[in-house]
Structure 1
Amino acid sequence: MSQPFQLAACAEMLWLDKPMDWRVARLTEMGFGVGLWNWPDLDLAKIEAVGANFTIMNGYLEGRLADDEGAEMLLRSARETAQIGKRLNVDRLNLHGTGLGDGGIPICQHDVVSGDMWLKARDTLNRICDLAEEEGVVFTLENLNLLDHPGCPFGSTADVLALVSSVDRPQLRINLDLYHTQIGEGDLIRWCDKCLPWIGEIQVADNPGRCEPGSGEINYKMIAKALYELEYRGPVGMEAFASGDPEAALEAFRTAFTV
């Protein structure tokens, strides 16, 4: 038995009563990489001092892909965030189809995405890649389920795959969140296979509840085996709450992805 994947966990969702630098340190002590959300509320000096491997962080604070004003906001925000990402040596900077507000609700909602919006989104992502090439960073585009994030353009796994594969540049990868895929589409192993050439990170949580693997309906042991057989050896991040003790939740995650 081995652990062929780089395992990480989102510090924002564990030990909610502890300060962020403590959470980052404990994840590091347990052998996990660390995922973060937005940076403005972080004490950057404290978490930088831990010396953690930060695997992913939100790569923008505002903006959207599919209109001129939103694209300019996104590019400005992504350039600013890239500086923080380089300071912390973050592996990947994460994007969504549009900015998210309280509770993850899209700020600009769209029930229908037009052809012009698709073309604009692809153009914006190419500009993001130009920025990433200049700054020496990598961005990911994450899929989101539309039950939790209603009206989010380009939220489905299929849409994210279509955009990232059409841009097809190394500065833009897929953040394949299997919790969202399970709610939106299911068929997780086949989506892993389809997305494989463009995956930058895989994120996991069980459903229902968005807690650690083993707490819900998803057979993550089988998914880990399939990923291994597909020769995926990249990062797997637990973006999940703990159903009970956080350390027990992390060990359940580690066990699920030991193959």
Structure 2
Amino acid sequence: MSQPFQLAACAEMLWLDKSMDWRAARLTEMGFGVGLWNWSTWDLDKLERVGANYTIMDGYLQGRLADDEGADMLLSSARETAQIGKRLGVDRLNLHGTGLGDGGIPIWQHDVVTGGMWLKAQDTLRRICDLAEEEDIVFTLENLNLLDHPGCPFGSTGDVLALVSSVNHPRLRINLDLYHTQIGEGDLIRWCEKCLPWIGEVQVADNPGRCEPGTGEINYVAVARALSDMGYRGPVGMESCASGDPDTALEAFRAAFTI
């Protein structure tokens, strides 16, 4: 048995009664990287002292891809966030088509994405790549399912692949969230193959329930084997709740992605 992937877990969704630095320390103790969301709510001094491998965090606090005002907000917010990411040593800064509000509901909702919006989103992402070059960092763009995130522009796996592949810059990768792909499109292994040249991270949770692998309908053992066979050796992050004890959930995740 071997471990071909760099395993991490989202600290935001586990041990909810503990402080964020405690969660980061526990994940580090268990041998996992640490995923985070919104940096403005954390004690950065404590997180810095943990010395964790922070694998991914939200790369912005506000903004959106497809209009002038939103793009300027996104670039300004991403520039500020980049400094926090560099302070913590975060590997990747994550973006969405628009900012998300309470419960993950998109702040700026569009059921129809026009051609002009596509062109503006590409331009915004090229500006993000310029920022990434200046700061020596990497951004990812994440797919989101439209049942949980209604009206999110560029939320589908296909839309994210189209945008990232058209920009085609090494500083912009796909955060391929297979939980969202399962709900939105299914056919996970083929989507992994299509996205492979641009994947920066794979994120996982089972469905329904958004808990650890083995609690729902997704055969993550088969997905892990397929990812390994196609040569993927990058990070896999569990962005899920725990169905019971978080330590047990994390070991189930580790087992599913051990080949």
Q: How does 1:212-227 map to 2 (within 5 A)?
A: 212-227=212-227
2:2 matched to which residue of 1? 2
Structure 1 residue 202: Cα displacement: 0.1
- How far apart, CA to CA, are the structure 2 residues paired with 1:136 and 1:233? 22
Q: How does 1:147-186 map to 2 (within 5 A)?
A: 147-186=147-186
User: How many residues are paired up?
Assistant: 259
Tell me, what secondary structure is at the counterpart of 1:237? Answer: strand
Q: What per-residue deviation string (whole Å, max 9, x for no partner) do you get for residues 61-115 of structure 1?
A: 0000000000000000000000000000000000000000000000010010000
SS in 2 for 1:175: strand
Aligned pairs (5 A) from 1:5-24:
5-24=5-24
1:198 aligns with 2:201: no
Once the 2 structures are TM-superposed, how far is the Cα of residue 204 of structure 1 from its aligned partner?
A: 0.1
How well do the aligned residues superpose, as a CA RMSD in angstroms? 0.3
- What are the equivalent positions in structure 2 for 1:78-157 lying under 5 Å apart? 78-157=78-157
Structure 1 unmatched ranges of 5 or more = none
Q: Does 1:62 pair with 2:62?
A: yes
AA partner of residue 74 (structure 2) = L
Distance apart, 1:132 and its partner CA: 0.5
Report the counterpart of residue 31 of structure 2 in structure 1: 31
Runs of 4 or more above 6 Å deviation: none
Cα distance in 1 for partners of 2:188, 2:41 equals 34
The offset of 1:184, in angstroms, is 0.0
Which residue type is aligned with residue 20 of structure 2?
M
Aligned to 1:249: 249
Partner secondary structure for residue 201 of structure 2 = strand
User: Aligned residue for 1:230?
Assistant: 230
| Alpha-carbon distance, 1:246 to partner | 0.2
**TM-score scaled by structure 1?**
1.00
Deviation, 1:248, is 0.1
Task: Give the AA of the match of 2:151.
Answer: G
What do the CA deviations read for 1:33-74 (whole angstroms, capped 9, x no partner)? 000001011000001101000000000000000000000000
Specify the code of the residue in structure 1 equivalent to 2:191.
Answer: W
Q: Secondary structure at the match of 2:149?
A: coil
User: Which stretches in structure 2 are left out of the alignment for 5+ residues?
Assistant: none
Deviation per residue, 1:131-167 (Å, 9 max, x gap): 0000011000000000000000000000000000000
Distance 2:23 2:75 in 1: 30
* Helix, strand or coil at the partner of 2:202: strand
Please give the alpha-carbon distance, in whole angstroms, between the structure 1 residues aligned to 2:111 and 2:202: 27
Amino acid at match of 2:197: P
Cα distance in 2 for partners of 1:150, 1:50 equals: 36
